[in-house]
């Protein structure tokens, strides 16, 4: 896909002590919007060397964090660093912040950022850790941010994705993610701020692919959970993950993503984790559905947002707009909406029309790439 013209980027540089060769850490005032599990663990990562303001929609949660240095609702067993201060005021959270990390539910991103936008400092780098597709528009989170934020912020929009359970990050267990930005220099700047011996960041410039992969893997995790809940076996699990990756790639490439992105951390990496790790809320929903439980009671028991449910509906709608087949997403959607049982959905997938494993959609995309390359030469 064609790249945008390169522009000069002035980024803050770490200071080194004369003659020592040692790089001093630089405090990057940081705001984290969202005090759920992922927002809390990212605030903990940032607070190693930076002052952090974490925003919660709920005033009582912000007060509890400041009083007890613990989040009273999420990751409650972990003490939060002293450098984390909580607030329920967006203006206060964003004032003077050079790095803004967004970790709110995907369905509330537009609303929150319309309110937050006027208070974000010019020159701040904005990192979205939100994974989802907006149902009404079919937009990725990056596209939503481009619609609601001033165009001056657009070059500094970064997406964070990859295999990363919040509880393991909070426990300082090794975690590796990717940071995607069309101007990769900004991703590199965030990489330097966030990376540490137990939280390693890679960079990328395919923001469409990284965000599409991060959103749609949740749909496949529900499907795998449903199969496992019915004791479908390891063969079925592997098949759903493999064909699920093909489905995700097909949708991403149709929007301009690079096929190789889906073999990386945001694609295969996050898919493996979410489909097999029992910390995954999406997998747990699928497991419970496979065991015959009702969706409403499952969600009450979990008590947290399960992004894959709304993303499933958005993915089916998006695939239809793009004129693409999305058989796994379609069957998951029918189960979620009570139109089929998990058993019937599995039977439909196994008995649909036989076809080649090679994907003609990706082949056409490859031919288009080659043609574009020949034209450029």
All structural domains of the chain, each given as residue ranges with its CATH number in brackets, are 30-205 (3.40.50.720), 215-370 (1.10.1040.10)
CA 82 → CA 48, 49, 86, 96, distances in Å? 10, 11, 11, 19
CA distance 245 to 73: 33
Q: Say whether 217 is catalytic.
A: yes
- pLDDT per residue as tens digits for the range 194-221: 999 999 999 999 999 999 999 999 999 9
| pTM exceeds 0.95 for this model | no
pLDDT lower than 70: segments of the chain: 1-25, 361-377
Using a CB cutoff of 8 Å and minimum separation of 24, what contacts does 17-22 make?
Answer: none
CA distance 74 to 170: 11
Q: What pLDDT score does 10 carry?
A: 52
**Catalytic residue chosen out of the listed positions 217, 340, 363, 377:** 217
User: What's the full length of the chain, in residues?
Assistant: 377
Q: Where are the beta strands (DSSP E) in 8-129?
A: 30-33, 52-55, 84-87, 99-102, 125-128
CA distance 377 to 368: 14
- pLDDT per residue as tens digits for the range 281-309: 999 999 999 999 999 999 999 988 899 99
């Amino acid at each position: 896909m064609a790249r945008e013209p390169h522009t000069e980027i002035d980024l803050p540089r770490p200071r080194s002590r004369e003659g020592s060769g040692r790089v001093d850490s630089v405090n990057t005032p940081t705001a984290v919007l969202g005090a759920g599990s992922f927002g809390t663990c990212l605030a903990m990562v940032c607070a190693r060397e930076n002052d952090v303001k974490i925003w919660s929609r709920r005033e009582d949660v912000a007060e509890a964090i400041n009083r007890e240095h613990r989040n009273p609702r999420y990751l409650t067993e972990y003490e939060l660093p002293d450098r984390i201060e909580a607030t329920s005021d967006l203006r206060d959270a964003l004032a003077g912040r050079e790095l803004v990390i967004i970790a709110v539910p995907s369905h509330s991103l537009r609303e929150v950022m319309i309110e937050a936008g006027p208070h974000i400092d010019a020159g701040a780098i904005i990192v979205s850790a939100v994974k989802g597709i907006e149902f009404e528009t079919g937009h990725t989170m990056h596209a939503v941010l481009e619609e609601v934020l001033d165009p001056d912020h657009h070059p500094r929009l970064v997406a964070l994705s990859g295999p990363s359970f919040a509880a393991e990050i909070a426990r300082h267990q090794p975690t590796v993610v990717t940071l995607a930005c069309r101007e990769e220099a900004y991703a590199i700047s965030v990489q330097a701020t966030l990376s540490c011996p137990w939280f390693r960041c890679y960079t990328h410039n395919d923001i469409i692919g990284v965000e599409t992969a991060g959103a749609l893997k949740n749909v496949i995790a529900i499907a795998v959970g449903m199969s496992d809940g019915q004791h479908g076996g390891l063969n079925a699990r592997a098949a759903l993950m493999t064909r699920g990756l093909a489905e995700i790639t097909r949708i991403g490439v149709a929007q301009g993503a690079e096929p190789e992105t889906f073999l990386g951390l945001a694609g295969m990496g996050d898919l493996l984790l979410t489909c097999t790790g029992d910390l995954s809320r999406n997998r747990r929903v699928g497991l419970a559905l496979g065991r015959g439980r009702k969706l409403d009671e499952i969600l009450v028991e979990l008590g947290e947002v399960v992004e894959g449910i709304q993303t499933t509906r958005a993915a089916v709608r998006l695939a239809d707009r793009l004129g693409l087949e999305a058989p796994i997403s379609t069957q998951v959607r029918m189960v979620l909406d009570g139109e089929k049982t998990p058993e019937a959905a599995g039977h439909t997938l196994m008995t649909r029309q036989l076809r080649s494993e090679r994907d003609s959609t990706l082949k056409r995309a490859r031919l288009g790439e080659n043609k574009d390359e020949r034209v450029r030469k």
